[in-house]
Amino acid sequence: MKKYPFKFLDAYDKEDRKIFFGRDDEIAELYRLVFQTNLLLVYGASGTGKTSLIRCGLANRFKPSQWLDLLIRRGSDINASLLDAIRKRQPRAQSVSLIGQEQENDWFSSLMEADQESGITESESSQIKSQNPVAQALQDLYLATFTPIYLIFDQFEELYTLGNPEEQRQFTRTIAELVKLPLPVRIIIVMREEYLARLYDLERAVPQLRNYKLRVAPMDLPMVEQVILSATVRNPESNIELEQGKEQEIVHTIVDKIREGDISVKLPYLQLFMDRLYEKVTGEATDRSRDAHLNLELVQQMGNIDVVLANFINQQSEHIYRKLAPKYLDLPNDIVWHILSPFATMDGLKVPIKQEDLHQIAATLKLSDTGQADELIKEVVAELETSRILRYRKEEQTYEVVHDTLALQIADKRSEEEKTYLKARRTVTEGFASYQDTKTLLSREQLSFIRPYESRLETEIKTDQQGFITKSKNKRRRQRIGLWAGVVAAFLIAIAVIFIVIKEQQKTKKALETALRTQAAKDALEFKSLESRAALIIKVGGNPIDIVNKMDTLFFNHTDSTRWKKQIDIMRDKIKNHNDFK
């Protein structure tokens, strides 16, 4: 039976071996590396097919008895998700024991009794000593399956973009223990290359991470052409046919439309483009079972990938709106975008949202009838899942955008207000992360920035993050009060100083006046004495010039005193008259 040979935006898994092409060299290298280390890093740009390379390419190099893979996404906490993933794979207890209840019991008892001295020292023991629940769970899983376990941490960058420092530290401790386990367990970390620097702490704890890594490069144009040909023309089970004689031209045109002027191609673009092309030919929205014949003219009519991508989400959004508008009155026409918004970070990364947390999206919607919000969200999310924009991850009970390519579109589509709100939210989340390390609270400017969004933030951020805002605000309030108290104290001190200065000035002035009065009294006495002497001289004769000079000095000392002036003038006249008479 013929099948559609592409996967839309889902990763390829073990069952897709027949339609997974173009990565033979990378698979061989990956296969070689997993025998050299139990901790391997696979990194590359978004859309290079890292997950498919492992889950399909590498997985198919092993027999089922050699490969038990656990795909672990961060979820709400990577440590909990890891433990959960291991425990979920634990098979149910065997119903029949190998040992029968009768003589086999006796047989084993006799063996035990015969073994008088075990002779095994503690250090020789092969049992796992770790108290780490992950190590214990892995041992239980291994002993239940006797199959080598591959822990594949997919989209590992989420630990750094969405996780908190304590979560990161705990994970580092766990990995450092797991690499030493005497069990056939291998760990593969898969992440986008732009986040490699964030591995610093993990690399310090587990140095072999530095030595064993594989970069998955974007697929170059000739290889993408070969992939399309392998999936269609050379694949007898493909339900897509290319116009005969024009296969190369068609393939070349497709690649040209999805390359965005680059020398390589993002593989999700190829998947999406082929999906849209298929729908254009067959008219089927989601069913991919019909045969499709692609001709060159049709391919040429398709827009470039940016247009195709934007149209895809727009069409789905409009379709969902038209479907739900009659049921929900006054439904905003951008309601689907609003509901999609929390599923992407500002940078266009996927944000998984737990099913139980979907109702929190209601706070972001501007609905006239808020009572219907929960139901509306559920319906829109269900429609988005049908439209293959959202995916439900059963293991973690979360919804997420099917690929970062779409998350980027969602991020771009946001209103300026929404973008600002997200910046405010990021200010809080990053500030909180930093606070846990450095105990630094939000600054006054940061608090001012988030203030308009506080009520919305309260409904969308975690309790400890809310506590962080409150703590920052309290600290800011205390700072403000402290500042005001300082100002008032400074004012009071200034007043006191001024008062003291004035008082001192008054005291000085008073002392000066007293001194002046004392001096004046003293001078008056001297003047009297002089006057007496002058009178005596007038009376008995003699030279009064010394007295005149002293009187002049006194005059100059008291030029501002009219009394002195008058008296001196009188004395001068007297002395003058006396001299004239003489």
Partner 1 sequence: MSGKRNNVINSYLVLETLKAIPNGPHAKELFRKLKQEIQEGRAKRTPTDAEMKDVIVRSFLAPISVHLRTLFSQGLSEKHDEVRLRQLWTTYREAIKLFAFILLSDLWDTRLKLEKPLHIEEAERLHLKAFFELNAYTAADFDYFLLMDALLKLAQANEVSCYLEELNQYAEGWAQNEILSSANEHFQMIRSVLEEDVPSRLIETYCILSEQHLAHVLGAWHFLISYKMAVIKNIEVQRIKNMPPAIFKHALVELDNNYNDIGHKDRWEDLNQPTDMESVLLYRDAVHDNLNLSPFILDENALTREFNSKIYFFSHVSEAGLHYYWIENVKDTLLISDQQYAYVKLQFEKARQDILNEKPLRGTRSEIAEDDDILSFL
Contact (CB, 8 A) for 551 and 568 = yes
Nearer to partner 1, 95 or 559 (CB): 95
Q: Which of residues 104-123 bind partner 1 (CB under 8 A)?
A: 104-105, 107-109, 111-112, 114-115, 118-120
Candidate residues 15, 87, 99, 297; the one interacting with partner 1 per rule CB under 8 A:
99
Determine, following the binding rule CB under 8 A, whether residue 102 of this chain makes contact with partner 1: yes
Three-state SS for 57-106 is HHHHHCCHHHCEEEEECCCCCHHHHHHHHHHHHCCCCCCCCCCCCCHHHH
Give CA 296 to chain center in angstroms: 46
For residue 86, which of 47, 41, 144 has the smallest C-alpha distance?
144
Determine, following the binding rule CB under 8 A, whether residue 199 of this chain makes contact with partner 1: no
| AA identity, residue 57 | G
In the structure encoding, which two tokens stand for residue 418, read together? 């929404």
Nearer to partner 1, 97 or 463 (CB): 97
Nearer to partner 1, 149 or 358 (CB): 149
Smallest separation, CB 72 to partner 1 (Å):
19
Nearer to partner 1, 8 or 67 (CB): 67
In the structure encoding, which two tokens stand for residue 16, read together? 């897709």
Determine, following the binding rule CB under 8 A, whether residue 283 of this chain makes contact with partner 1: no
Nearer to partner 1, 64 or 283 (CB): 64
Smallest separation, CB 60 to partner 1 (Å):
12
Residues comprising the chain, all counted = 582
What is the DSSP-derived secondary structure letter of residue 54?
Answer: I
Determine, following the binding rule CB under 8 A, whether residue 304 of this chain makes contact with partner 1: no
387: three-class secondary structure by DSSP: coil
User: Which backbone phi and psi does 23 adopt, to 5 degrees?
Assistant: -125, 30
Buried residues in 399-430 as b, exposed as e (16+ CB within 10 A): bbbbbbbbbbbbbebbeeebeebbebbebbbe
Which x/- pattern, by CB under 8 A, does the window 56-95 give for partner 1?
A: -----xxxxxx------------------------x--x-
Determine, following the binding rule CB under 8 A, whether residue 32 of this chain makes contact with partner 1: yes
Candidate residues 15, 17, 36, 506; the one interacting with partner 1 per rule CB under 8 A:
36
Determine, following the binding rule CB under 8 A, whether residue 145 of this chain makes contact with partner 1: yes
Candidate residues 123, 127, 244, 463; the one interacting with partner 1 per rule CB under 8 A:
127
Positive or negative, the CA dihedral 437, 442, 445, 449 is: positive
- Sole window of 181-189, 351-359, 539-547, 549-557 interacting with partner 1 (rule: CB under 8 A): 181-189
Nearer to partner 1, 61 or 322 (CB): 61
Nearer to partner 1, 186 or 259 (CB): 186
Number of H helices, E strands in the chain: 23, 12
User: Which backbone phi and psi does 384 adopt, to 5 degrees?
Assistant: -65, -30
Nearer to partner 1, 99 or 487 (CB): 99
N-to-C CA span, the chain: 160
Determine, following the binding rule CB under 8 A, whether residue 124 of this chain makes contact with partner 1: yes
Candidate residues 45, 80, 136, 144; the one interacting with partner 1 per rule CB under 8 A:
144
Contact (CB, 8 A) for 354 and 397 = yes
Determine, following the binding rule CB under 8 A, whether residue 35 of this chain makes contact with partner 1: yes
Site size with partner 1, rule: CB under 8 A:
51
Nearer to partner 1, 39 or 189 (CB): 39
What is the DSSP code string of 200-265? HHHHHHSTHHHHSEEEEPPEEHHHHHHHHHHHTTT-TTBSEEEPTT-HHHHHHHHHHHHSTTSSEE
In the structure encoding, which two tokens stand for residue 58, read together? 């590498």
Smallest separation, CB 54 to partner 1 (Å):
17
43: three-class secondary structure by DSSP: strand
Nearer to partner 1, 142 or 468 (CB): 142
Candidate residues 1, 96, 197, 263; the one interacting with partner 1 per rule CB under 8 A:
96
Determine, following the binding rule CB under 8 A, whether residue 161 of this chain makes contact with partner 1: no
Residues in touch with partner 1 (CB under 8 A): 32, 35-39, 61-66, 91, 94, 96-100, 102-105, 107-109, 111-112, 114-115, 118-120, 124-127, 143-148, 179-184, 186, 208
